Chains A and B, each alone.
Chain A
Amino acid sequence: MEKSFKFFLIVTLLLGLITILPAPTFFFVALATAFLYAGYSESWNIVGGYAGYTSLGHGALFGLSAYFVALLLQHFGTSPLLTIPLGGLLCIIIAIIIGYPTMRLRGYYFALATLSLPIIFGAVVVSFPDITLGGRGVSNIYITEIPFELRPQIYYMIFLLYMAVCATVAYMVERSKFGMGLVAIRDDEVAAEACGINTTKLKVEAFIISGFLTGIAGGFYGTYLTYISPSTAFGILPSIIPVLMAILGGRNTWLGPIIGGIVLDLLRQYISYTFPGVLNTLIFGGILIIFTILFPEGVVGMIKKGNLVDVLNKYKYRRIGHTQSR
């Protein structure tokens, strides 16, 4: 087992033990969403990072599951504890249905096609207000089994666990035959087929894993916020945030989305609290630009390659005359 993964598991254990200690509530609250997004980003990375299919529409699955859980609770009183895993399964089905036709698309077109999915889902939700309560959103989404006073700690634990599970899945994928196949698909799908890889099958499998984990995240998210609406569930944020986290953290590794997720989310929270309204979009945008230029392979990616020094050397990758330009 890789040293860093062992280290990660130990850290996770320690973080888990903190729940017993009387830490301030905001500690649990701040880290809870960070863990959730880190895990969600990790699950995105299976399709977007390893397989190289940059999906800009994972938010569609995220929101779908959130709505599924919320509506079943709203109309039938079914406990989220039951429906959240079902939400994951639902996402698998939808991921396959959408995945099959869109899989044929080249990277850039795939990104555009997936971008339109959350928008379409959001529109469908708003168009049937009798079922979905339309633009008002659904409120009062609670897991009643969780005592109110312990909510911060329990959600902290849940999301920590979720993050650990996602990281473990990614870690195992990375080391497996399956993972090699995905990376081969990313590097050159035609060559991958020529090596015997059933690209369609592998891609569907990746969608399934990613879809399920995303669905779990979405399902829990609704109960955490206790309220969802078309804009929170299907807006641009749930689609773009996991992408940013994975890319800035490092797409090629299991650790990247975790680091990227936690750091970026904590940063986001800090910025929204410190700077008023519109200014934080400005800062966020600026950070995005700077990070993309300085850390093209993500923070973890560059640390791995020992390229941190090269960041300062602007012309390392100067490619005039590079033979492999496409």
Chain B
Amino acid sequence: MLEGKNLVKRFGGLTAIDNLDFYIDEGKITGLIGPNGSGKTTLFNLITGYYKPDQGIIKFKGRPITGKKPHQILKMGIVRTFQIVRPFLSMTVTENVAVAALYGRANLNSMKEAIQYSKKWIEFCGLESKTNTPARELTLVELKKLEIARALATEPEVMLIDEVFAGLNPSEVDQAVETIKRIRSELGITIFIVEHVMRAIMNICDHVIVLHNGKKIAEGTPVQVATSPPVIETYLGKR
């Protein structure tokens, strides 16, 4: 459904993505892991149009999307969340989600409709008690929920989730895992998730890609990947 071939991205002298191929199956939850600096967020930025690859192409449902702008890619059905949350601080929770409802694929036109429509997503993420709270007053967990709700309101087919578990305690992690599973099972959205928290990855993903220095060093089911020698070497060092 979403694939990339021969992707290269350099920043000055640093090659962040080095001849990378990837393939995301529809309806699956695919994980992307790797040490810090291995290029995970860069890949997300490439897919969603924030960076242009120096080489290679990215295709979505068979159509090339390389070089398109973020809002265009969004309208085609790919949404992303941000590692460091990016709420619209001057707005309330509802207004935040309403922006996505207005400018996402739902393409609503009136504020009234947008606010009405947003309720559904706010509830899905468990933020009902905070609908009229200004975003600047939310806790980190609530902000992450908001980020997800806003992404959902754009009616995506594919959702790119960037390190959403960072900073959550174990029970919050479990809650988040549940929500993500529901996104796939109830809404049919394909998920591509970057994560460090192993517990979450093992729990959720059908398929995992491992990145190191911009290259793919392993791929497979969570168990396969966890036991593959290159991965062990990268995370634990050579014996």
From B50, B69, B79, B99, contact of A181 by CB (8 A): B99
Q: With an 8 A cutoff between CB atoms, is B80 at the interface?
A: yes
Q: With an 8 A cutoff between CB atoms, is A313 at the interface?
A: no
Q: In the complex, what distance in Å separates the CA atom of A196 from the CA atom of B76?
A: 10
Contact size range, A: 20 to 34
Q: Which residue of B lies closest to A190 (CB)?
A: B86
Cβ of A194 and Cβ of B99 under 8 Å apart? no
Inter-chain contacts of B150 with A (CB < 8 A) = 195
Q: With an 8 A cutoff between CB atoms, is A123 at the interface?
A: no
Smallest CB–CB gap between A181 and chain B, Å?
6
Q: With an 8 A cutoff between CB atoms, is B82 at the interface?
A: yes
Contact with A along B11-52 (1 / 0, CB 8 A): 000000000000000000000000000000000000010100
Smallest CB–CB gap between B51 and chain A, Å?
12
Q: A180-B98, A183-B90, A324-B136 are in contact. Are A196 and B109 (CB under 8 A)?
A: no
Q: In the complex, what distance in Å separates the CA atom of A183 from the CA atom of B90?
A: 8
Cβ of B48 and Cβ of A180 under 8 Å apart? no
Cβ of A187 and Cβ of B104 under 8 Å apart? no
Contact with B along A193-212 (1 / 0, CB 8 A): 11111110000000000000
Cβ of B90 and Cβ of A192 under 8 Å apart? no
Smallest CB–CB gap between A153 and chain B, Å?
40
Inter-chain contacts of B87 with A (CB < 8 A) = 187-188, 191
Inter-chain contacts of A318 with B (CB < 8 A) = none
Q: With an 8 A cutoff between CB atoms, is A258 at the interface?
A: no
Contact size range, B: 20 to 34
Cβ of B82 and Cβ of A194 under 8 Å apart? yes
Cβ of B90 and Cβ of A180 under 8 Å apart? no
Q: A181-B102, A183-B90 are in contact. Are A194 and B111 (CB under 8 A)?
A: no
From A192, A252, A323, A324, contact of B99 by CB (8 A): A192
Q: Which residue of B lies closest to A177 (CB)?
A: B102
Inter-chain contacts of B89 with A (CB < 8 A) = 187-188, 324
Within 8 A of B (CB), among A166-200: 175-177, 180-181, 183-184, 186-188, 190-199
Cβ of A184 and Cβ of B79 under 8 Å apart? no
Main SS at interface, chain A: helix
Cβ of A195 and Cβ of B90 under 8 Å apart? no
Q: In the complex, what distance in Å separates the CA atom of A177 from the CA atom of B104?
A: 12
Q: A194-B70, A194-B79 are in contact. Are A180 and B86 (CB under 8 A)?
A: no
Inter-chain contacts of A187 with B (CB < 8 A) = 87-91
From B88, B108, B140, B154, contact of A184 by CB (8 A): B88
Q: In the complex, what distance in Å separates the CA atom of A181 from the CA atom of B102?
A: 9
Inter-chain contacts of B111 with A (CB < 8 A) = 175-177, 180
From B70, B98, B110, contact of A193 by CB (8 A): B70
From B74, B108, B110, B140, contact of A195 by CB (8 A): B74
Cβ of A195 and Cβ of B104 under 8 Å apart? yes
* Best-buried of B71, B72, B95, B154 by chain A (most CB within 10 Å): B71
Q: In the complex, what distance in Å separates the CA atom of A193 from the CA atom of B100?
A: 10
Cβ of A199 and Cβ of B71 under 8 Å apart? yes
Q: A199-B71, A324-B136 are in contact. Are A194 and B88 (CB under 8 A)?
A: no
Q: With an 8 A cutoff between CB atoms, is B60 at the interface?
A: no
Q: In the complex, what distance in Å separates the CA atom of A28 from the CA atom of B95?
A: 42
Inter-chain contacts of B72 with A (CB < 8 A) = 198
Q: A177-B109, A177-B111, A181-B99 are in contact. Are A193 and B71 (CB under 8 A)?
A: yes
Q: With an 8 A cutoff between CB atoms, is B105 at the interface?
A: yes
Smallest CB–CB gap between B2 and chain A, Å?
16
Q: List residues of chain A with CB under 8 Å of any chain B CB.
A: 175-177, 180-181, 183-184, 186-188, 190-199, 252, 323-324
Given contacts A177-B110, A181-B99, A198-B71, 5 further A-B contacts (CB under 8 A): A175-B111, A177-B111, A181-B102, A181-B103, A324-B136
Sorted from nearest, which 10 A-B pairs have the closest CB atoms? A196-B103, A191-B86, A187-B88, A193-B70, A196-B74, A195-B100, A196-B104, A197-B103, A184-B99, A177-B102
Could you show 24 A-B contacts with beta carbons less than 8 Å apart? A177-B102, A180-B98, A181-B102, A183-B91, A184-B99, A187-B90, A187-B91, A188-B86, A191-B87, A191-B88, A192-B99, A193-B50, A193-B69, A194-B70, A195-B71, A195-B74, A195-B99, A195-B100, A195-B104, A195-B154, A196-B103, A196-B154, A197-B99, A323-B140
